């Protein structure tokens, strides 16, 4: 027997990963600030307050090439610079910990495993842009993260790492929590701001951007949890070192939540530029049950699918966009040959039409109609014209919606239409099989299938081709599994 891997760092996927945002997760006691400090925590803040100007800080982040991990990929240094540039006696920094993507839990992990890395980064950002108040907007469904954050803020205050005159520098900074009720749209920055202001969580038009007019009308910088978790690491390792990781335009690492039909479900952090193939096969250890890979859905309800032909695409913001998907916040769902792409689209549209804030016409009604069109297709009531209408409507919703939710809601439809149009056409032309099917010329008439069928819908004489009654078939696949000559086709 081969030597058994004793620890995480001995398993095959370990060398493929680079832990920056997750550097402390699982290694320190998140409820003890000392352990964070023991791993160089708050040294970056101290050094900055003692030795650097706000401009230096902005420049260093710009140099690192860090981009927003919340989905948009906006350059963080530039965002800080824009907010810093605004003249105002009051500014805010907000940490977006709403994480509403179904299947995503990167931010939750960071907040639960290493809350101080976010707090320290907020203080650094506050210093850089000239804000003295920060808010962490966290969804109420994350009670453990909330508990950790509360404790961490309290400890940081006790150590005077938050509060007045930090490190004797004259810089003061405080952080408070704001709890969100868990609507997906509240992760969108303008809806998030509305929610903190006590209004209904509805998006607002941009421009003006939060950097110009944000919380209560003041310049506001909003960053994602993972983005912030990179910040003090950048100062500790040096912006140049950080910029060595990743690709030309996407620096550093990205945390993904692997899910779907893959052997190793979990959280991974990989350098930008890693290929999907490496993620799926080396880190994720391939598809569960030996099925064939079909596609990866990235970016959740706002993203799209990536197919076999693009498995070698290095992951970065631009290349994912080019192939019709997006980085998104980091959800990554592996789909196999049995997954029905039209149904996958419907699943996402069901989510977005329900989560639409209801403010603007294309998103409120358009996503509903898109969903219903998919439903019509799946129920075998569709026509080829419906496909055209679907595409047309999807593009219109994308172009005219007010906020990112509506603008990206059609992505799953458009990207699956692009790569799996045949599946849509099968529905639209009503040639889609909903039952298993026996190929006449392959069947040897062994009767095994008829014996296992739980609803007795397979008929045929011994040694003659058998036939499945498509009306009765419940698509359980029992026949498929027992056929010795692979004569049965999946629906």
Using CB under 6 A, list all residues that contact ligand FMN: 68-72, 74, 96, 98-100, 184-185, 187-189, 222-224, 227, 329, 403-405
406 binds ligand SF4 (CB under 6 A): yes
CB-count exposure of residue 313 (10 Å: 0-12, 13-18, 19+): middle
Pair 137, 98: CB distance under 8 Å: yes
Residue with tokens 């940490």: 95
Toward ligand SF4, which CB reaches closer, 203 or 274?
203
> Between residue 236 and residue 295, which ones bind another protein under the rule CB under 8 A?
264-269, 285
217 binds another protein (CB under 8 A): no
Toward another protein, which CB reaches closer, 39 or 447?
39
Q: Look at residue 72 and give the partner it binds from ligand SF4, another protein, ligand FMN, none, a contact being a CB closer than 5 to 8 Å depending on partner kind.
A: ligand FMN
Give me the least distance between CB of 102 and ligand FMN, in Å please.
11
Site string for another protein, 125-144 (x = CB under 8 A): -----------------x-x
Pair 451, 462: CB distance under 8 Å: no
Stretch that binds ligand SF4, among 251-259, 300-308, 335-343, 403-411 (CB under 6 A): 403-411
Rule CB under 6 A: choose which of 359, 432, 448, 466 binds ligand SF4: 359
Toward ligand FMN, which CB reaches closer, 155 or 353?
353
180 binds ligand SF4 (CB under 6 A): no
Toward ligand SF4, which CB reaches closer, 45 or 360?
360
Pair 269, 17: CB distance under 8 Å: yes
356 binds ligand SF4 (CB under 6 A): yes
Q: Is the peptide bond before 421 cis (omega within 30 degrees of 0)?
A: no
193 binds ligand SF4 (CB under 6 A): no
Toward ligand FMN, which CB reaches closer, 68 or 260?
68
Site string for ligand SF4, 199-218 (x = CB under 6 A): ---xx---------------
- Per-residue tokens: 370: 């898109």
Give me the least distance between CB of 297 and ligand SF4, in Å please.
21
d(CA 414, CA 323): 11
Residues 6+ apart with CB under 8 A from 309: none
367 binds another protein (CB under 8 A): yes
363 binds ligand SF4 (CB under 6 A): yes
Give me the least distance between CB of 165 and another protein, in Å please.
9
Residue with tokens 């609507």: 183
> Between residue 396 and residue 425, which ones bind another protein under the rule CB under 8 A?
396, 398-402, 407
Pair 419, 307: CB distance under 8 Å: yes
Show the DSSP H helices in 341-436 as ranges: 341-355, 361, 367-378, 384-400, 404-408, 411-419, 421-428
Stretch that binds ligand SF4, among 73-81, 130-138, 235-243, 350-358 (CB under 6 A): 350-358
Instruction: Using alpha carbons, list the distances in angstroms from residue 176 to 92, 94, 128, 415, 433.
Output: 11, 10, 19, 40, 55
d(CA 285, CA 298): 18
For residue 65, give the 3-state DSSP assignment: coil
The residues with which 438 forms a beta bridge, in sequence order, are 488
Q: Is the peptide bond before 35 cis (omega within 30 degrees of 0)?
A: no
Residues 6+ apart with CB under 8 A from 367: 349, 352, 353, 356, 397, 406, 409, 410
Toward another protein, which CB reaches closer, 137 or 351?
351
Toward ligand SF4, which CB reaches closer, 358 or 384?
358
Toward ligand SF4, which CB reaches closer, 394 or 450?
394
364 binds ligand SF4 (CB under 6 A): yes
- Concatenated DSSP letters of 228-296: HHHHHHHHHH-HHHHHHSB-SS-BSEEEEEEEESBSS-EEEEEETT-BHHIIIIIIS-SBGGGPPEEEE
Toward another protein, which CB reaches closer, 168 or 290?
168
> Between residue 3 and residue 32, which ones bind another protein under the rule CB under 8 A?
3-13, 22, 24-31
Q: Look at residue 109 and give the partner it binds from another protein, ligand SF4, ligand FMN, none, a contact being a CB closer than 5 to 8 Å depending on partner kind.
A: another protein
Stretch that binds ligand SF4, among 126-134, 395-403, 427-435, 474-482 (CB under 6 A): 395-403
**How many other CB atoms are there within 10 angstroms of residue 144's CB atom?**
11
103 binds another protein (CB under 8 A): no
Toward ligand FMN, which CB reaches closer, 137 or 436?
137
Rule CB under 6 A: choose which of 161, 377, 402, 478 binds ligand SF4: 402
Toward ligand SF4, which CB reaches closer, 261 or 367?
367
Pair 272, 246: CB distance under 8 Å: yes
d(CA 212, CA 385): 45
């Amino acid at each position: 027997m081969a030597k058994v891997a004793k620890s995480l760092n001995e398993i095959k996927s370990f060398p493929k990963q680079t832990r920056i945002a997750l550097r402390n997760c699982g290694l320190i006691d998140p409820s003890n600030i000392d352990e964070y400090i023991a791993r160089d925590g708050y040294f970056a803040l101290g050094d900055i307050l003692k030795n650097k100007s706000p401009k230096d800080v902005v420049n260093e982040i710009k140099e690192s090439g860090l981009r927003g991990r919340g989905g948009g990929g906006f350059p963080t240094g530039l965002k800080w610079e824009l907010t810093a540039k605004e003249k105002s006696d009051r500014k805010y920094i907000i940490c977006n910990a709403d994480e509403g993507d179904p299947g995503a839990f990167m931010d939750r992990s960071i907040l639960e495993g290493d809350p101080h890395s976010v707090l320290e980064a907020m203080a650094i950002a506050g210093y850089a842009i000239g804000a003295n108040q920060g808010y962490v907007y966290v969804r109420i469904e994350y009670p453990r993260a909330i508990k950790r954050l509360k404790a961490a803020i309290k400890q940081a205050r006790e150590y005077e790492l938050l509060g007045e005159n930090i490190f004797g520098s004259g810089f003061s900074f405080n952080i408070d929590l704001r709890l969100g009720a868990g609507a997906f749209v509240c992760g969108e920055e303008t809806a998030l701001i509305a929610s903190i202001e006590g209004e209904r969580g509805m998006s607002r038009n941009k421009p003006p951007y939060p950097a110009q007019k944000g919380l209560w009308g003041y310049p506001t910088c909003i960053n994602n949890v993972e983005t912030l978790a990179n910040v003090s690491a950048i100062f500790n390792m040096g912006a140049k070192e950080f910029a060595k990781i990743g690709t030309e335009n996407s620096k550093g690492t990205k945390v993904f939540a692997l899910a779907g039909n893959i052997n190793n479900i979990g959280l991974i952090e990989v350098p930008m530029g890693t290929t999907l193939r490496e993620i799926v096969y080396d880190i994720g250890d391939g598809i569960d049950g030996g099925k064939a890979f079909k596609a990866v859905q990235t970016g959740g309800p706002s993203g799209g699918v990536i197919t076999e032909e693009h498995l070698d695409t290095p992951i970065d913001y631009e290349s994912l966009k080019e192939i019709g998907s997006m980085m998104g916040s980091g959800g990554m769902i592996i789909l196999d040959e049995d997954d029905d792409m039209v149904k996958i689209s419907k699943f996402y549209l069901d989510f977005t039409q329900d989560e639409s804030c209801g403010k603007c016409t294309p998103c409120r009604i358009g996503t509903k109609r898109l969903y219903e069109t998919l439903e019509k297709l799946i129920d075998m009531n569709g026509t080829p014209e419906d496909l055209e209408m679907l595409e047309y409507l999807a593009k219109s919703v994308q172009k005219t919606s007010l906020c990112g939710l509506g603008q990206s809601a059609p992505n799953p439809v458009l990207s699956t239409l692009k790569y799996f149009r045949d599946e849509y056409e099968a529905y639209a032309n009503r040639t889609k099989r909903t039952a298993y099917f026996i190929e006449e010329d392959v069947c040897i008439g062994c009767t095994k299938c008829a014996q296992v069928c739980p609803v007795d819908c397979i008929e045929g004489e011994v040694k003659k081709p058998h036939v499945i009654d498509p009306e009765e078939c419940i698509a359980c696949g029992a026949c498929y599994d027992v056929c010795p000559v692979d004569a049965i086709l999946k629906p």
